[in-house]
Structure 1
Amino acid sequence: MASYLEYVIPLILLISLNFTATKAQSLSYQYQVCSTNKFTPNSTYQTNLRTLFSSLSSEASNSVEFFNNTVAGTKTNPSDTVYGLFMCRGDIPSDLCSQCVGNGTQRLSTHEDCSTAVAAVVYYDQCIVRYSNRSFFSVVTMSAGYVLPSPINMTNQESFKRLVYDTLNKTADDAADEPTGDKKFATRETNIDEYQKLYCLAQCTPDLSLRDCRSCLESLINSDLPRCCAGTQGARVLYPNCVIRYEIYPFYRSLTSAPAQPPTAKSGENKKGRSRTIILVVVPIVILVTLCTFCYYFLRRRARKTRKSLLRENFGEESSILEGLQFDLATIKVATNNFSHENKIGKGGFGEVYKGLLPDGRHIAVKRLSTSSRQGSVEFKNEILLIAKLQHRNLVEFLGFCLEEEEKILIYEYVPNRSLDYFLFDTQQQKLSWYERYKIIGGTALGILYLHEYSRLKIIHRDLKPSNILLDESMNPKISDFGLARIIDIDQNRAETDRIVGTYGYMSPEYAMLGQFSEKSDVFSFGIIILEIITGKKNASSYEPHYVEEGLMTYVWRHWKNQTPLSILDPNMKENYFQTEVIRCIEIGLLCVQENPNIRPTMADVVSYLNNHSLKLSSLQEPAFYLHGIDKKVVMQEGSSSNISGNSSTPFSVNEMSISKFYPR
């Protein structure tokens, strides 16, 4: 009976999914947002709007998938100018696109809420139609959005959420990578289990740049989706410039064409001859392939038994979640040219780091555990278990690990010279613009928020600093190095340790002096990072433990009290910044480094402050100048295996893993 069901159940699912996919293609209205500002009926603006609607409908009927147009007002009345566009979903046929745009313009021109609105947007499953009295072309609009979660939750919510997040981000990358002007549309599917698949879609208006498209989709995936739809069987997040959707059924059309049908035989004799040929050729091939497959499976199974036993020895019950992340040692040796000196790019307390190239073209960084590092062995297990559970876009891409009798290896994507520390403080590096700095602040905040609130367990990083924030080609930040991270219960406010680890200058006072850490410890570190990003100055105490006359916090606080906050800005930014954003970020940074952890904001507060400038911030108190009041040598010696003395001006890390020496390429 069981073997029978193995064939019947997939067949039933396939039939039902195909039926659902067919049904899903009908036109489906979702939502509309219409401005409360109204124009006068029968005015010039309304005439121009009708002209615009006519042009949109006309273009849609000509098999156009995206079109924007401007109907200009007169010289004496430029305010009558109307801007509009439509975008059809990238997989739908032209007739459905035309029908959708026609319905959209009709709805906007006749609906009681929209018929006299100066701006509006309407969402269908198959298209977006939008107009306004202000130009919005090539500009990201993060308002007038709409979210629609499925009413049904998945049973395996945590693993499903990780799968959704990972797949949506890869889909978003595919969509954003298309050149400006081309269709920025992508779909992906991946297996949930043996019988179910996940289907994802992402799309931007083609007028957006790669960076703006990815930023728009990033906001939907990182911000809107976790708040509305975590763990549900499906969801849509729709904004004027970008949309995402995922389901457990195929809701989009396949973009690949069906294979051509073979020619029909002309006679019964030809059919018999062809059948005989097929039997003589195909059957031996099938038998050979089956035998090869069996041998391969048998050998793989024997190898897997050895790996499974090693996993169980090192990770116990949690080994089952790690099986899919294993690399074999032979692959890593080939990728790194047998760990050659030429491929060596760094060395830390953990061991040596090598760059490599996998057969599929991916560049990797390989952390090879030193056999003499007992502490490194603990961090190895810590980091694998944490990152395997996270797999989050704002965390560094963890590809896997290799575990052999004599080898413990971690494998990451390779991001050479892409740390925030490098961009901020390397004198040879071209400095970041304010736009990029503000983007890094916001992206890092979202990453830490995920650790604190959106992961299954609350995770305290304990070593947040610019060198542990990596930047991709689009300057999206990724938090890295989870060797020191700790898991605490969601309802647990804080934890304590006798072994203080981290990096001097980024540790909160309660952690440095008492060993107490919580999410507010990470908030403190994030506050220091904000101030370093704004000033372009490294916190003096992070590399000069003996120097406490005026650290970065003292410097920033003095200018804040003197009402000269803009004097602290990195001069490399020149005049290209928004004063309100800069001043708000300075204030948020100072809030994060308050001495009392109870009055520091949470990361959820920080993200809200960054996204909504109308929110009033708490009153500021003097930051934690805690280095004046403690014996620095005590802090340095606790939990440190380093021989650096209290009078050294060498860059100092309390933990042996926090500093790596990188070799020039």
Structure 2
Amino acid sequence: MTQLSVLICSDTLVVHKSGGFHRLVTSVTWHRWDIKTATQNFTTVLGQGSFGPVYKAAMPTGELVAVKMLASDSTQGEKEFQTEVLLLSRLHHRNLVNLVGFCIDNSQRMLVYEFMTNGNLATLLYNDGPRILSWEERVQIAYDVSHGIEYLHEGAAPPIIHRDLKSANILLDMSMRAKISDFGLSKEETFDGRKSGLKGTYGYMDPDYMSTNKFTKKSDIYSFGIILFELITAINPQQGLMDYINLAVIGEDSKADWEEIADKRLVGTSHPEEVKLLADIAYKCLHKIPRKRPSIADISRTIARIKHRPIKNDELPTAGRDVPRRVIRRIENLQVELLNMTSLKGHQPVKV
């Protein structure tokens, strides 16, 4: 069947305990959608996850979206589908991917998201193409992701633990602003500390969680620490990232040599002091004792200080032609943030 009924949700939805989806008295619209035509006969593949394939598609309104379809052999299922719909329908933040709609049609399950032009962070970090993320972009991505996690941990009611933070789940829009995606494994903090089946992605999973089978906010902090080191090094966590991190901290006087493991493509354009500051906070996120890891609020403040840190003359990059662009970019970022603060003034998260 290619004709599917898609619920386009402009406000909020609720999932009853029976599993049936019901709408609140809000602005929602049903559309009949030829998914085969919208995805050009399923040729517009954006990626493949544990849930199933993700396609680029055009809505009946003309809006471009990303469509995640539950595969018959998916390792995730009905429970994860409902979790994602329930959470994203009540969570609203500029650093979380926006759920546009969903579909339940016989055995077909489909999630419809806003289209993120620049794909995911993992692809940008590890591709061999000419596009290299600048240091400023990497700091901005860290800043955006920290605010998304801060909203989940401190702003949502009840708080949310993501449980699968990784670079492949960080999506980037046309302005290279980052948003967190994939909430199928997420849990409300009311479950904090309870035992559960081991879920997540190896390389990002908190060793304490793996040994105790208990997940907490600090498990998310560990995963974010790995992402921060990915931004610094462009080394995949499944290809020896922790080995490089451990080698960097075995130095004279116990001082970590973070610049030694920084992405060599950034030589001459990154700032050693900023690399050190970001690596220091990332390393604290990986502390083997979860309670000694920093809170996401502390991490966000540190990254904000890095992002807005005044640049001294003796710290200017050797590639002088990049200096004006860096200054201009910081000014533009500040202007965008001021506009966002103005537009969001008085906005309150929608609660179910």
The TM tier, using the shorter chain, reads 0.7 to 0.9
In 2, Cα distance between equivalents of 1:563 and 1:330: 55
Question: How far apart are 1:497 and its partner, in Å?
Answer: 2.7
1:471 alignment partner in structure 2: 172
1:608 is the counterpart of 2:309:
no
CA distance in 2: counterparts of 1:322 and 1:346, whole angstroms: 35
Q: What is the one-letter code of the residue matched to 1:607?
A: S
Counterpart position of 1:320: 23
Would you say the 8 A contact 1:329–1:402 is kept in 2?
no
- Report the Cα distance in structure 2 between the residues aligned to 1:382 and 1:429, rounded to whole angstroms: 38
Q: Deviations over 1:425-476 (max 9, x none)?
A: 1122421111111111111111100000111211111111111101112211
- In 1, Cα distance between the equivalents of 2:260 and 2:93? 37
* 2:234 corresponding residue in structure 1: 536
Count of paired positions? 293
**Equivalent residue number for residue 399 of structure 1:** 100
2:132 paired residue number: 431
1:531 is matched by which residue type in structure 2? Answer: F
Do the aligned residues in 2 keep the contact of 1:465 with 1:526 (CA within 8 Å)?
Answer: yes
SS in structure 2 opposite 1:319? strand
Indicate which of 329, 335, 358 corresponds to 2:38.
Answer: 335
In structure 2, give the amino acid aligned to 1:511: Y
Give the deviation of 1:515 after TM superposition: 1.1
Pair 1:497 & 2:195 matched? yes
* Mapping of residues 352-391 of structure 1, within 5 Å: 352-371=53-72, 373=74, 375-391=76-92
Q: Distance in 2 between matches of 1:587 and 1:423?
A: 24
Report which stretch shifted further, 356-365 or 505-514: 356-365
Distance in 2, Cα, partners of 1:555 & 1:424: 22
SS of alignment partner, residue 250 of structure 2: helix
Distance 1:495 1:345, change over 3 A: same
- How many angstroms apart in 2 are the aligned matches of 1:336 and 1:314? 32
After the TM superposition, which residues 13-32 of structure 1 pair with which residues of structure 2 at under 5 Å, given as runs?
none
2:231 and 2:208 map into 1 onto residues whose CA distance is 24
Q: Which of 136, 145, 151 is the matching residue for 1:444?
A: 145
Paired amino acid for 2:288 = E
- Measured after TM superposition, the shift of residue 554 of structure 1 is 1.3
Aligned to 2:288: 595
Other structure's SS at 1:330 match? strand
Structure 1 residues 352 and 420: CA distance shift in structure 2, 3 A: closer
Note if 1:419 corresponds to 2:120. yes
CA distance 1:598–1:391, shift in 2 (3 Å)? same
CA contact (8 A) 2:229 2:282 kept: yes
- 1:582 corresponds, among 260, 264, 275, to 275
Q: Which runs of 5+ in 2 are unaligned?
A: 1-6, 8-13, 307-352
CA distance in 2, matches of 1:551, 1:438: 23
- Secondary structure of the structure 1 residue equivalent to 2:22: helix
Alignment of 1:118-517 (within 5 A): 315=19, 319-321=22-24, 324=27, 327-330=30-33, 332-337=35-40, 340-371=41-72, 373=74, 375-415=76-116, 418-489=119-190, 494-517=192-215
Matched residues in 2 for 1:432 and 1:588: separation? 21
1:610-650 deviation line (CA, Å, top 9, x unaligned): 2347xxxxxxxxxxxxxxxxxxxxxxxxxxxxxxxxxxxxx
Q: 1:321 to 1:589 in 2, by over 3 A?
A: farther
Tell me: CA distance 1:405–1:476, structure 2 relative to 1, closer, same or farther (3 Å).
same
Name the amino acid aligned to 2:195: T
After superposition, the Cα gap between the structure-2 partners of 1:376 and 1:416, relative to the gap in structure 1 and judged at 3 Å, is: farther
Greater relative contact order (CA < 8 Å, ≥ 6 in sequence): 2
Q: What is the CA–CA distance in structure 2 between the aligned matches of 1:325 and 1:369, rounded to whole Å? A: 23
Letter in 1 for 2:265: N
Question: Which amino acid is the alignment partner of residue 434 of structure 1?
Answer: W
Matches within 5 A, 1:547-558: 551-558=243-250
Deviations 1:555-577 (A, max 9, x none): 33235935533222111112222
Rg larger in structure: 1
Contact 2:70 2:108 in 1 (8 A): yes
Deviation of 1:312 after TM superposition, in Å, equals 5.6
1:179-216 CA-to-partner distances (Å, cap 9, x unmatched) read: xxxxxxxxxxxxxxxxxxxxxxxxxxxxxxxxxxxxxx
For the Cα contact (< 8 Å) 2:169–2:182, is it kept in 1? yes
2:249 touches 2:256 (CA, 8 Å); kept in 1? no
Instruction: Tell me if the contact between 1:349 and 1:376 (Cα under 8 Å) persists in the aligned partners.
Output: no
Give the unaligned 5+ runs of structure 1: 1-302, 304-309, 614-665
